[in-house]
Copies of this chain bind each other. A is one copy, B any other.
Amino acid sequence: MRKENSTNTLNKQHLEKDCGMSYTLTAIGGRWKPAILWRLARGKMRYSELRDSIANVTERMLVLQLREMEKDGLINRIVYAEVPPRVEYELSAKGNSLKPILESLSDWGDKNRI
């Protein structure tokens, strides 16, 4: 099934009609999204803090995944008009509503990985 537009951002056309599971998994399931969400669930962070705390992530991928989650409304990007520039990321209200799910995903993983 081909995607109808060029981005990975979510819209109705991407979804199987039978359930919202795929929607949620696409929203949080990118290569670096769990690492990002896990950190932001603990509080607001600067771009450089995210980059430095996530091992092996490239700036390219970090920005791509942040932009997708911003478009999907999971996180807020806050730009301060300062020199040098400062950008902070935080969970939005929508993102915050995911926290119990992130917890249960983490718990299940911790219990069931070999």
Using an 8 Å CB-CB cutoff, how does the interface string of A28-48 with B read, 1 for contact, 0 for none?
A: 110000110110000000000
Instruction: Please classify the interface of chain A as helix (H, G, I), strand (E, B), loop, or mixed, using the class held by over half of its residues.
Output: helix
- 14 sampled A-B residue pairs with Cβ under 8 A: A10-B113, A12-B114, A19-B35, A20-B107, A20-B110, A20-B113, A21-B37, A21-B102, A24-B105, A25-B34, A29-B29, A98-B108, A101-B104, A104-B104
In the complex, whether A86 has a CB less than 8 A from a CB of chain B is no
Query: Contacts A29-B25, A101-B105 given: A19-B1 contact, CB under 8 Å?
Result: no
In the complex, whether A81 has a CB less than 8 A from a CB of chain B is no
Q: How far is the CA of A11 from the CA of B112 in the complex (A)?
A: 11
Q: How far is the CA of A19 from the CA of B55 in the complex (A)?
A: 13
Residues of the B chain whose Cβ atoms lie less than 8 Å from the Cβ of A6 = none
A76 to chain B, nearest CB (A): 16
Query: Contacts A97-B108, A113-B12 given: A21-B34 contact, CB under 8 Å?
Result: yes
Most buried by B among A16, A19, A28: A19
